[in-house]
Structure 1
Amino acid sequence: MENAVDRLADIIAPPAPAGTEVNWEETVRRLRTALPTDYVQLIERYGGGQFDGYLWLLEPGSSSDYDLAEITEEREEALEYLWNEGEAKPAVLDAPGVRAIAWGSTDNGEYLYWLARPGDDPDAWTVLVNEARGERWEHFAMGCAEFLVTTLTGEVRSDLLWSLYPASPHEFFPSALIDHED
């Protein structure tokens, strides 16, 4: 059976040269966890970047504004602040040790997270989407690569993501091009 990253490559060709060099040991240290295999494969094949002019795949070590560890640290702090100030914490996140680890964002301000439960293999992590400037969350019982594929093909729709996503034709814009424009 074709994996989700291969299916994605059938939908949107990876950039040439594909992906970027990542210090995975440093990323794991900063995030305090291993990462899902499909995410590692996405970064190795595509690198970070933007799908269909809207959804950003965060990348470890990116010198743009889309660094995986930096955004995760920022979002964990922001969510903790919001929940301490009275915003409703989603039930799926309201257990000891459960984390929402950011892996994507959008131009509208939504964030995409892995639902990381203590003891779970990272390959079993599923996707959470949090609306921009709001309390609504959606849960998708799939990994990040499958989420990308199924939202790009229209097999899965999110009520929180922009109604004009996905675009046609599909495109991928590598964040490495942003990183080197200065």
Structure 2
Amino acid sequence: MTSIEQLTRLCPPPADAPPVDWDAVETTLGFRLPEDYKQLAAVYGPGAFADFIRVFHPHGVTEWVDLTGRVPTAMWEQLQNDQAAGRPVPYDPQCLFVVGVTDNGEHLFWITGPRNDPGAWHIAVNEARGPLWCTFNGTLTDFLVSVLSGDTAVPQFPDGLRQAATTFFPSTSRPSAPTALPTDTNVIREWARANGYDLPSRKRVPAAIIVALVQAHGGE
């Protein structure tokens, strides 16, 4: 049984998902994508597993969860800055491509090596507000099956995740117009603290806060 078959048995997909022009997506990104990811995106569409793990999708409802949006570039820059500042990054930032985010702000990355063999890419997860990294030696779909079935415990993830593992929450609408967002991180931090988020001033802004900010400004 393939990992996508295991995942659909564990966590049933929605009735339909929007079609994806993979040639256009890969041309935009400049590299081929893993086949298991294409199957995953085609079967489930945009949304969240266990209402917690949001896999980026070419039809992400905002640019912050769009595979071809601004987050991958922003994360490359952030990881390079972290490495230059002496903060631990276990892989060359150029070999990491962000493919998802949790509602706590952890990011899921492809370890893109070898670059020309996407079927061999493994998964890394960072800590939202700390230095911890976790590596999973398998594909993204393998990772989801293992985590949602309880076979793999990711230290950064909540203990109760397995209780909601059999539910996928689709995101099927896109804001009718681009959402105007502040670009000054100090403004974003001020908004986050005013809305009850614990965000130390010297840590990066987790994607979960950006998503919340988008939603507060009319996104979904």
Compute the TM-score of the two structures, normalised by the length of structure 2: 0.73
Give the conservation status (yes or no) of the 8 Å contact 1:11–1:170. Answer: yes
Give the conservation status (yes or no) of the 8 Å contact 1:126–1:140. Answer: yes
Match of 2:133 in 1: 137
Match of 1:88 in 2: 88
Match of 2:7 in 1: 8
Q: Aligned letter for 1:85?
A: A
Q: Aligned letter for 1:12?
A: C
- Give the drift of 1:177: 4.2
Farther off after superposition, 113-122 or 46-55: 113-122
Deviation string for 1:82-125 (max 9, x for gaps)?
A: 212221221xx14xx85111111100000011111244510110
- Give the drift of 1:169: 6.1
Give the conservation status (yes or no) of the 8 Å contact 2:12–2:166. Answer: no
Q: Give the share of equivalent positions with the same residue, in percent.
A: 31
Give the conservation status (yes or no) of the 8 Å contact 1:23–1:61. Answer: no
Cα distance, 1:89–1:40 mapped onto 2, change above 3 Å? same
In structure 2, which of residues 50, 62, 73 is the aligned counterpart of residue 52 of structure 1? Answer: 50
Question: Are 1:127 and 2:126 counterparts?
Answer: no
Match of 2:74 in 1: 74
- Give the drift of 1:31: 2.4
Give the conservation status (yes or no) of the 8 Å contact 1:98–1:117. Answer: no
Instruction: Give unmatched runs, 5+ long, in structure 1.
Output: none
Which ranges of 4 or more aligned residues in structure 1 deviate by more than 6 Å?
none
Question: Are 1:63 and 2:45 counterparts?
Answer: no
Give the conservation status (yes or no) of the 8 Å contact 2:114–2:121. Answer: no
Cα distance, 1:73–1:108 mapped onto 2, change above 3 Å? same
Deviation string for 1:45-85 (max 9, x for gaps)?
A: 00121011111111014232310122222211211122122
Q: Aligned letter for 2:76?
A: E
Aligned residue pair count:
176
Farther off after superposition, 172-181 or 125-134: 172-181
Match of 2:195 in 1: none
Q: Aligned letter for 1:138?
A: C
Instruction: Measure, in 1, the Cα distance between the counterparts of 2:165 and 2:30.
Output: 38
Farther off after superposition, 29-38 or 49-58: 29-38
Give the conservation status (yes or no) of the 8 Å contact 2:11–2:165. Answer: no
- Give the drift of 1:22: 1.8
- Give the drift of 1:178: 5.9
Instruction: Give unmatched runs, 5+ long, in structure 2.
Output: 177-218
In structure 1, which of residues 34, 44, 50 is the aligned counterpart of residue 32 of structure 2? Answer: 34
- Larger radius of gyration, structure 1 or 2? 2
In structure 2, which of residues 120, 145, 156 is the aligned counterpart of residue 149 of structure 1? Answer: 145
Instruction: Measure, in 1, the Cα distance between the counterparts of 2:115 and 2:174.
Output: 37
